[in-house]
């Protein structure tokens, strides 16, 4: 009898001919998530099993696996030969000490000599005489004993399902460059795209010396928290302080944010192209702030050719906060450090700036030289 973690996967099933490819990426991702913990990963039909693992780190293993996209659910279980005595012995360990229970059997091996109902009855009956405190309740039991008879002469016995993260394996839906601020929204945006299988590479713009080391540490922490899902342990940063200074000096104050956002998009596009990312990702949500009106979004889109994905576009702030709490980035996001956008923040930002007005104000700047200067500050950080 061997203690294992059973991993069931989700949408991968749907991908027809691509299934082999999806499964390969998925197992590489599981390995990445379990890096540093002793284990073996085995594939059986329709399942993965983690075996021979460091038992002291069991909780951590379950936690890490449940965050991997593509995981539908996982269970702590026992792997045994498929004869009734072995299954029963495992069932005695999975069954509760007392109260009501139900045995539920699934047979992947349809040639197995007993039907599911017969296994339920036999194991249920033996459990009842083995432990007098137990009672069967087939309608609303307090506990379950699940038996999964596999095709290869083995059976899995377990008591519960831990829901997984769902989604598709990261790496199966292209790659995107995430504009990661220190706020609440952009980490959630990155999570959403990774959930659909995209490789998400974070890029942060800072305004050193206007922003301090604490702000940088905060973003590194956010990127690290996000990497538990995206499996990307890298962060790219670029300094835009000189751009903010120039905008502040030469352009209309109400366009501060709009103009800076256009610089960010241009710089992001260059970096994306250099690294082969296929799109930009932001945490923008329609109408959330002045720069996120449809006019604001259009003015940033106008300076790039790459598609800009905004997975939070239709989310309320409340919904975003709820998700950020769930994925564990909220507490870090609300730490009080200056973001580069709050330096030089105008009192009355333009809400629906006309493109002609924006271009006229931007015309006062040497856009190309400012971008070049920013590119010189590019940093690549391994987290």
Closest distance to ligand ATP from the beta carbon of 270 (Å): 14
Under the binding rule (CB under 6 A), the answer on residue 282 touching ligand ATP is yes
Cα–Cα distance for residue pair 153/88, rounded to 1 Å? 15
Q: Which of residues 337-366 bind Mg ion (CB under 5 A)?
A: 339
Dihedral sign computed on CA atoms, order 252, 257, 262, 263: positive
Nearer to Mg ion, 75 or 285 (CB): 285
Under the binding rule (CB under 6 A), the answer on residue 296 touching ligand ATP is no
Cα–Cα distance for residue pair 174/301, rounded to 1 Å? 20
Are the C-beta atoms of 330 and 321 separated by less than 8 Å? yes
Interface residue with Mg ion, options 172, 181, 258, 292 (CB under 5 A): 181
Helix axis angle, 367-375 relative to 256-275, nearest 10°? 50
Closest distance to Mg ion from the beta carbon of 311 (Å): 16
Under the binding rule (CB under 6 A), the answer on residue 191 touching ligand ATP is no
**Residue 283: contacted member of ligand ATP, Mg ion, none (CB under 5 to 8 Å, by partner type):** ligand ATP
Cα–Cα distance for residue pair 42/26, rounded to 1 Å? 12
Cα–Cα distance for residue pair 289/320, rounded to 1 Å? 14
The residues with which 211 forms a beta bridge, in sequence order, are none
Task: Give the β-pairing of 308-309 and 279-281.
Answer: parallel
**Residue 340: contacted member of Mg ion, ligand ATP, none (CB under 5 to 8 Å, by partner type):** ligand ATP
What is the phi-psi region of residue 287: left when phi exceeds 0, alpha when psi lies from -120 to 50, beta otherwise? left
**Residue 179: contacted member of Mg ion, ligand ATP, none (CB under 5 to 8 Å, by partner type):** ligand ATP
Residue whose entry in the numeric block shows the structure tokens 């082969």: 276
Cα–Cα distance for residue pair 337/183, rounded to 1 Å? 10
Cα–Cα distance for residue pair 202/276, rounded to 1 Å? 14
x/- map, 339-378, ligand ATP, by CB under 6 A: xxx-------------------------------------
Under the binding rule (CB under 6 A), the answer on residue 186 touching ligand ATP is yes
> Among the candidate windows 2-10, 165-173, 248-256, 337-345, which touches ligand ATP by CB under 6 A?
337-345
x/- map, 155-184, ligand ATP, by CB under 6 A: ------------------------xxx-xx
Number of residues that bind ligand ATP (CB under 6 A): 17
Nearer to ligand ATP, 134 or 222 (CB): 222
Cα–Cα distance for residue pair 350/361, rounded to 1 Å? 13
Question: What's the gap between Cα 370 and its chain centre?
Answer: 34
Interface residue with ligand ATP, options 159, 283, 311, 353 (CB under 6 A): 283
Structure tokens at 84: 């009734």
Closest distance to ligand ATP from the beta carbon of 302 (Å): 16
Under the binding rule (CB under 6 A), the answer on residue 49 touching ligand ATP is no
Q: Which residues bind ligand ATP (CB under 6 A)?
A: 179-181, 183-186, 204-205, 264, 282-284, 289, 339-341
């Amino acid at each position: 009898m061997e203690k294992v973690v059973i991993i069931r996967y989700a949408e991968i099933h749907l991908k027809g001919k691509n299934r082999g490819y999806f499964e390969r990426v998925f197992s590489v991702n599981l390995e990445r998530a379990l890096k540093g913990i002793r284990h073996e990963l085995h594939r059986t039909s329709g399942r993965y099993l983690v075996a021979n693992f460091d038992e002291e780190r069991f909780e951590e293993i379950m936690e890490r696996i449940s965050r991997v996209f593509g995981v539908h659910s996982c269970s702590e279980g026992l792997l045994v030969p498929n004869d009734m005595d072995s299954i029963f012995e495992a069932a005695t360990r999975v069954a509760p000490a007392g109260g009501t229970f139900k045995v539920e059997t699934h047979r992947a091996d349809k040639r197995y000599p007993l039907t599911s109902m017969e296994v339920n009855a036999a194991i249920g009956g033996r459990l009842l005489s083995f432990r007098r405190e137990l009672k069967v309740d087939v309608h609303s039991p307090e506990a379950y004993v699940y038996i999964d008879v596999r095709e290869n002469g083995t059976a899995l016995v377990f008591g519960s399902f831990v829901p997984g993260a769902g989604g598709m394996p990261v790496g199966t839906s292209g790659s995107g460059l995430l504009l990661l601020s220190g706020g609440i929204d952009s980490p959630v945006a990155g999570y959403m795209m990774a959930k659909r299988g995209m490789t998400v590479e974070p890029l942060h713009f800072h305004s050193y010396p206007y922003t301090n080391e604490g702000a940088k540490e905060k973003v590194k922490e956010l990127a690290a928290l996000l990497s538990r899902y995206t499996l990307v342990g890298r962060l790219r940063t670029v300094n835009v302080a000189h751009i903010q200074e120039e905008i502040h000096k030469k352009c209309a104050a109400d366009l501060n944010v709009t103009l800076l956002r256009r610089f960010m998009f241009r710089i992001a596009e260059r970096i994306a192209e250099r690294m082969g990312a296929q799109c930009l990702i932001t945490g923008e949500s329609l109408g959330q702030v002045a720069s996120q009106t449809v006019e604001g979004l259009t003015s940033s889109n106008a300076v790039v050719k790459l598609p800009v994905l905004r997975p939070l576009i239709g989310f309320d702030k409340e919904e975003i906060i709820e998700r950020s709490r769930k994925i564990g980035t909220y507490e870090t996001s609300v730490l009080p450090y200056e973001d580069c956008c709050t330096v030089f923040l105008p009192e009355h930002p333009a809400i629906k700036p006309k493109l002609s007005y924006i271009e006229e104000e931007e015309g006062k700047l040497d856009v190309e030289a400012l971008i070049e200067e920013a590119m010189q500050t590019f940093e690549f950080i391994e987290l």
